Amino acid sequence: LSPKTLKNFPPGPPKLPIIGNIHQLKSSTPHRVLRSLAKKYGPIMYLQLGQVSTVVVSTPRLAREILKINDICFDDRPTSTASQIFFYNAQDIGWAPCGEYWRQMKKICRLELLSAKKIRSFSSIREEEVSNIIKVFESKAGTPVNFTEMTVEMVNNVICKATLGYSYKDQATLIELLLDVLKTLSAFNLASYYPRLQFLNVILGKKAKWLKMHKKLDGILEDVLKEHRARRRNNNHQEDLVDVLLRVKETGDMDFKLTDEHVKAVVLDMLAAGTDASSTTLEWAMAELMRNPRIMTRAQAEVRSVVKGDTITETDVQSLHYLKLIVKETLRLHAPTPLLVPRECRHDINVGGYDIPAKTKIIVSAWACGTDPDSWEDAESFIPERFENCPINYMGADFEFIPFGAGRRICPGITFGLSMVEYPLANFLYHFDWMLPNGLQPHELDITEITGISTSLKHHLKIVPIPKVLSKVR
């Protein structure tokens, strides 16, 4: 299509001068605002967000057109000052342009960290971390624990041990930085609306703040590389992802020259993407169980009938059919990244009868697809049973359920992510009964959302563990 023939843009809400539609997105939950707008203006919608032309897609049929049928046109990511600063000129996997570098680095991570075989080999790490958190829950029996904070730490320990070979000594600082980076990368950050007015970032004081955060993170990653180089000289230890990347860098086995910055960008990707999405899923699953005592009771009965003895194995988890349905339903209703990660259109194209010009930012609402009334009955309710005898899966082929995205940019961490949700959840339900604090009733639990790049509970989930042994005595 030549620019002259691009006439039929998707419909969208009326715009104001200069800011376009920004004012309509002033909300802590853009996925909800976008779905309401889509109900009015249609499942493919055009928004002008400052200088950024944006198309939002909200049904499974259109998601399929973008992520499958025209994947090659939509497999790039828009660039932003934040992704340039934090990821060493977007040289990670999540923000890198979809070329040979991206393909090879994604392949290394798939093979060396995220394959089913590798994930099985990390089972002792998961067991140790889950056993530690259970001990803390036991020590706090009968009093409220900050479930959100504790599970973020647990998940981050697993990711760090698998990726770096150890948990990071100043974990609190690392987690704070990782979550801040992800918040900054949200598609709905004011600074991202005016890419051609970079001075705006300076005026808003954002750039200075981001550079400071980057410097701190870079210091952490430099330490990691230094420690790995020293360790590699001793030779006799299991290679982790950092070792593999450093080895590939030295042997020069790639079609391009790998630098320390590439290694740091990819390691940062794993730590950030891995920590946030998995712990958010765990938090939402537990919040829904606390709100739905019937589902909690059924899930506990299942895990307590399957497990023999006092230790849950990962093989046991494979038999926890209902628990897996709960995780699926959590991902449908609370996809941690409800708007996926934005894509960018490579060339002019026609989708759903509408013209989309090259370089348009594309947002696919996984959440709107997951709650699409034509695909799901009683779509807003949490009903794990809906997945019973239902072939719909999250592997990127069923577009009414795409919490991990789809196509070439699909999340490579699905199995790893789920291993950090299912196994801990099974343990929490097996070893404890759970209560809400201060006599709160299930329906009173506050599940207000807040959105950065992921959507989590606005207020940390605080709940009371009652060890199974104690609850039997009661």
Residue ranges that bind ligand HEM, judged by CB under 6 A: 93-94, 106, 269-270, 273-274, 277-278, 281, 336-337, 340-341, 403-406, 409-413, 416-417
Please answer whether residues 213 and 177 qualify as being in contact, where contact means their C-beta atoms are separated by less than 8 angstroms.
Answer: yes
Which pairs count as long-range contacts for 91-100, CB under 8 Å and 24+ apart, including other chains? 91/261, 91/262, 91/265, 91/266, 92/265, 92/266, 92/268, 92/269, 93/266, 93/269, 93/412, 94/269, 94/273, 94/341, 95/185, 98/408, 98/409, 100/255, 100/256
Closer residue to ligand HEM (CB): 336 or 370: 336
- For ligand HEM, the closer of residues 47 and 421 by Cβ is 421
Residue 259 has which token pair?
A: 């630098």
CA 352 vs CA 9, 69, 360, 406: distances in Å:
11, 12, 16, 18
Question: How far is residue 28's CA from residue 37's CA, in Å, rounded to a whole number?
Answer: 15
Shortest separation between residue 327's beta carbon and ligand HEM, angstroms: 9
What are residue 433's DSSP bridge partners?
466
With a CB cutoff of 8 Å and minimum separation 6, the contacts of 390 are none
Contacting residues for 9 by C-beta, under 8 A, at least 6 apart: 46, 354, 355, 356
Q: Which is nearer to ligand HEM, 398 or 433 (CB)?
A: 398
C-beta closer to ligand HEM: residue 278 or 365: 278
Residue 421 beta carbon to ligand HEM: minimum distance, rounded to whole angstroms: 6
C-beta closer to ligand HEM: residue 104 or 319: 104
CB of 9 to ligand HEM, least distance (A): 23
Place of tokens 């059919």: 321
Distances in whole angstroms, Cα of residue 402 to Cα of each of 36, 299, 335: 20, 24, 8
- CB-wise, 307 or 363, nearer to ligand HEM? 363
How far apart, in whole angstroms, are the C-alpha atoms of residue 441 and residue 450? 22
Count of beta carbons in the 10 Å neighbourhood of residue 198: 12
Q: Which residue has the tokens 């709905």?
A: 188
Nearest distance in Å: CB 277, ligand HEM: 3
Of 279, 319, 304, which Cα lies nearest the Cα of 420? 279
411 is in an annotated binding site: yes
Smallest distance from ligand HEM to CB 467, Å: 28
Instruction: Give ∠ CA 406-87-341 in degrees, rounded to 5.
Output: 25
Shortest spacing between CB 411 and ligand HEM, in angstroms? 3
Residue whose beta carbon is closest to ligand HEM: 405
Number of residues written out for the chain: 474
> Which residues on adjacent β-strands are paired with residue 435?
464
Q: Please say which residue, 38 or 270, places its beta carbon nearer to ligand HEM.
A: 270
Least Å from the CB of residue 37 to ligand HEM: 21
Q: What is the C-alpha to C-alpha distance for residues 422 and 105, in angstroms, rounded to an integer?
A: 27
**Whose Cβ is closer to ligand HEM: residue 67's or residue 307's?**
67
* Minimum CB distance to ligand HEM, residue 99 (Å): 12
* Of residues 52 and 93, the one with the C-beta less far from ligand HEM: 93
CA distance 105 to 108: 5
What DSSP line would sit under 106-165, residue for residue? Answer: HHHHHHHTSSHHHHHHTHHHHHHHHHHHHHHHHHTTTS-EEHHHHHHHHHHHHHHHHHHS
Min CB(218)–ligand HEM separation in Å = 19
Judge contact between 357 and 74, C-beta under 8 A: no
The residue among 31, 77, 65 whose CA lies nearest residue 337 is 31
CB of 279 to ligand HEM, least distance (A): 9
Q: Which is nearer to ligand HEM, 60 or 336 (CB)?
A: 336
Which residues are annotated binding-site positions?
Answer: 411
Binding site for heme, by residue number, is 411
